[in-house]
Structure 1
Amino acid sequence: MAYFPLFLLFLLLGLSLSPVISTNSEGNALHALRRRLSDPTNVLQSWDPTLVNPCTWFHVTCDSDNHVIRLDLGNSNISGTLGPEIGDLQYLQYLELYRNGLSGKIPTELGNLKNLVSMDLYENKFEGKIPKSFAKLESLRFLRMNNNKLTGSIPRELTSLSKLKIFDVSNNDLCGTIPVDGPFATFSMESYINNRLSGPELQGLVPYDFGC
């Protein structure tokens, strides 16, 4: 039975030599994002999954408690898709992904980012519908999704976002009527140009989504 301790020794040695992948959920979420992206200019080269947390990575900002509060990847020449893991960045306040080649659907899990103040997804290739889950982003002030390939109507659930100051969905393929309740009463028509929208709807009447 002397071979058992030797076997155990080799097992422990093997574990000690293997890469230590971060147990930090935010680091894991960002590493999952990196695996989905094409990065021809290596802007994500510093994203090392063996670190305890991602606060030393470029384009990532953390608070004093080492929680990720800002992701700055605007105009970074990246492409690919976003996955549900991005919803694990629960302390995120600023999500800047504008002017890239990102495609696919916008994950509904973005609605889990309750601390989000600004989300800039404009000038990409996102398609599909605007997630209704965005209505849960009660701290959101800036939401820009213009110049994509989004379809469907503007979710009426978004009228509950009382702090929303900027909303831009111009240059997509949205249809239906434009909400007028809540913060939508203050947005200019330039926020909606170059779509198939037929609003604004009449206040107090049930909206009808023409052509959707």
Structure 2
Amino acid sequence: MIDILQSWDPTLVDPCTWFHVTCDHDNRVTRLDLGHAKLSGHLVPQLGSLHRLQFLELYKNELVGPIPKELGNLKNLISLGLYHNNLTASIPPTLSNLSNIKLLRLNNNKLTGRIPRELTKLKNLKIIDLSNNDLCGTFPTYGSFSNFSQQSFKNNPRLTGPELMGFVRYDIGGSCK
């Protein structure tokens, strides 16, 4: 298999010539398609400076560490695919700034903590998949989350189920961190 990143020459001014990078008419990056690319390491906060980015697909790699809060700066993002990696820590509440997001797939990682309630404000969100992580507490059932089934949250052993009537159920003993 050809190395996906072989065309990524950092000395070139124009990344629009790189494989798996799509740009608009102003030569601004709008799409990164690096799913199943054998990438490893941490996601860098600088990704949040790609203000015209609409699609960030980094699924099925070996990425580790937290999701940078700076990804919340990507106001034009339509799809965020970070599934099937080894990402850890909690889901940053700043992802609620992604007002154009339609697809948010963070499944099959090692994410922990509560589901940020701010995400319920994402009016354009059509698909969310947070399954197969280590999230805890409850999942919201209001706002944009009223459209999602429990399948979106399955296989989170410390997730106790849906919120009842919009109230957050807290674990006794504070086991949800």
Q: TM over 0.5: same fold?
A: yes
Q: 1:208: which partner in 2?
A: 169
Q: 1:152: which partner in 2?
A: 113
Q: 1:136: which partner in 2?
A: 97
Tell me: CA distance 1:129–1:56, structure 2 relative to 1, closer, same or farther (3 Å).
same
Residue of structure 2 aligned with 1:161, choices 107, 122, 127: 122
TM-score by length of 1: 0.78
Q: Is the 8 A contact 1:153 1:209 kept in 2?
A: no
Q: Is the 8 A contact 1:90 1:113 kept in 2?
A: yes
**2:104 maps to amino acid:** L
**2:170 maps to amino acid:** D
Moved over 4 A (4+): none
Secondary structure at the aligned position of 1:87 is classed as: helix
TM-score by length of 2: 0.94
1:74-103 CA-partner distances (Å, limit 9, x unpaired): 011111111111111110000000001100
1:113 paired with 2:69, answer: no
Distance 2:58 2:142 in 1: 28
Q: Is the 8 A contact 1:177 1:198 kept in 2?
A: yes
Q: 2:160: which partner in 1?
A: 198
Q: Is the 8 A contact 2:140 2:166 kept in 1?
A: no
Q: CA deviation at 1:181?
A: 1.3
Q: Is the 8 A contact 2:141 2:166 kept in 1?
A: no
Work out the percentage of aligned pairs sharing the same amino acid: 60
CA RMSD of aligned residues (A): 1.3
Distance 2:166 2:139 in 1: 13
Q: Is the 8 A contact 1:41 1:77 kept in 2?
A: no
**Structure with higher helix content:** 1
Q: 2:45: which partner in 1?
A: 84
Q: CA deviation at 1:209?
A: 3.4
Structure 1 unaligned runs (5+)?
Answer: 1-39
1:182 paired with 2:143, answer: yes
Distance 1:165 1:198 in 2: 23
Q: Is the 8 A contact 1:175 1:209 kept in 2?
A: no
Number of aligned residues: 172
Distance 2:127 2:90 in 1: 19
Distance 1:56 1:209 in 2: 50
Distance 1:139 1:209 in 2: 31
Q: CA deviation at 1:202?
A: 1.3
Q: CA deviation at 1:137?
A: 0.3
The residue correspondences of 1:46-125 to structure 2 (distance < 5 A) are 46-125=7-86
Distance 2:170 2:96 in 1: 19
Structure 2 unaligned runs (5+)?
Answer: none
Q: CA deviation at 1:41?
A: 6.2
Distance 1:89 1:75 in 2: 21
Q: CA deviation at 1:203?
A: 2.0
1:88-137 CA-partner distances (Å, limit 9, x unpaired): 11100000000011001110000000000000000000000000000100
Bigger Cα displacement from structure 2, 153-162 vs 49-58: 49-58
